Amino acid sequence: MTVITYRDALNHALREEMQRDDRVFLMGEEVGEYDGAYKVSRGLLKEFGPKRVVDTPIAELGFAGIGVGASLVGLRPVIEMMTWNFALLAIDEIVNAAAKLRYMSGGQLGCPVVFRGPSGAALQLGAQHSQAFESWYAHVPGLKVICPGTPADAKGLLKSAIRDDDPIVFMEGEMLYNTKGEVPEEEVLVPIGKAEVKREGSDVTLICHGKMVGVALKAAEELAGEQIAAEVVDLRTIRPLDVEAILASVTKTNRCVVVEEGWPFAGVGAQVVDTIQREAFDSLDAPILRVTNADVPMPYNRALERAAKPDPGKVVAAARKVLYQ
């Protein structure tokens, strides 16, 4: 194992896949000469040249469409969005083209394209640049939605995404890029659609993904000081959802808190709760609680922004509540 940042894990995944398969290319704003807005593509232009690391104008709809078209003729494009907030301008290509091509062509056309970039809030970027979009894209049949929360998962899942034959929405965390973690030195492909138990426990299940993995693990550590053993389940992939892993944990602990960065209404957690109540209702000893962003546009004010986000204290409070403490 080697300890590297989330940013470098993504960079290694891109480099290794571009070396392995000359059909893979990267396209997006500032991915080349500037080495990427978040330096994820650092060094790739020098190694692979401007035909495989392609700088674009500020035209998300245009270069998303180029990615879809390139995938249809046998290439494997990786389309970087500077932020998923900007991908709203490209949503027609992602939702109306990439997601539907296989179905509408009766299986004759595949669309192996990866759309990737940071989703959710960072620090004081305001309401228009702080939105978490996982539930939006997971709502669409034909898309796979991936949200890695650790460097190892970022690398392993991006490699799997690039090799996948379906369109992938790959959502990173801007606040995760500098975080460090152990990553296997040998090649490891993390399977799409498989959750992982990040911490074993027996008293309550904390279900999370993306940036909320760190929040849930901190909450679990705090709960351990109160002799409460929280199990942390990292979904890693939102669609397809690992129902088996969710049910296995909840039937073990009998209590559940779902932690997500998005808004509460029709969020990822709502789908998780629906799954549990249908498949494991008799195993529950308390109602399931959700910890989410506040149901408001993200405030710019620092104190209000902090109040609007999930944090370990809110998760701890929810866990105590489902334990009737």
pLDDT at 6: 98
User: In this structure, how many other beta carbons lie within 10 angstroms of the beta carbon of residue 52?
Assistant: 18
pLDDT at 142: 97
Considering 29, 80, 129, 260, which one is annotated as catalytic?
Answer: 129
**C-alpha–C-alpha distance, residues 227 and 325, integer Å:** 12
Considering 17, 29, 60, 231, which one is annotated as catalytic?
Answer: 60
Q: Is 12 a catalytic residue?
A: no
Looking at every residue in the chain, the average pLDDT score rounds to 97
What's the mean pLDDT in 300-319? 98
| pTM, two decimal places | 0.97
pLDDT at 121: 95
pLDDT at 99: 98
Q: Is 139 a catalytic residue?
A: no
CATH 3.40.50.920 domain residues, the chain: 196-322
pLDDT at 8: 98
- Report pLDDT digits (tens) over 103-160: 999 999 999 999 999 999 999 999 999 999 999 999 999 999 999 999 999 999 999 9
CATH 3.40.50.970 domain residues, the chain: 2-183
- Report pLDDT digits (tens) over 50-102: 999 999 999 999 999 999 999 999 999 999 999 999 999 999 999 999 999 99
Alpha-carbon Rg for the chain in angstroms: 19
Instruction: Name the nearest CA neighbour of 64 among 87, 40, 41.
Output: 87
pLDDT at 266: 96
pLDDT at 270: 97
Fold classification of 196-322 is: Rossmann fold (3.40.50)
Q: What's the CATH architecture for 2-183? A: 3-Layer(aba) Sandwich (3.40)
215-250 CB burial, b ≥16 within 10 A, e <16 = bbbbbbebbeeeebebbbbbbbbbbebbbebbbbbb
pLDDT at 219: 98
pLDDT at 294: 98
Q: Is 322 helix (H, G, I), strand (E, B) or coil?
A: helix
Instruction: Name the nearest CA neighbour of 212 among 314, 107, 96, 81.
Output: 314
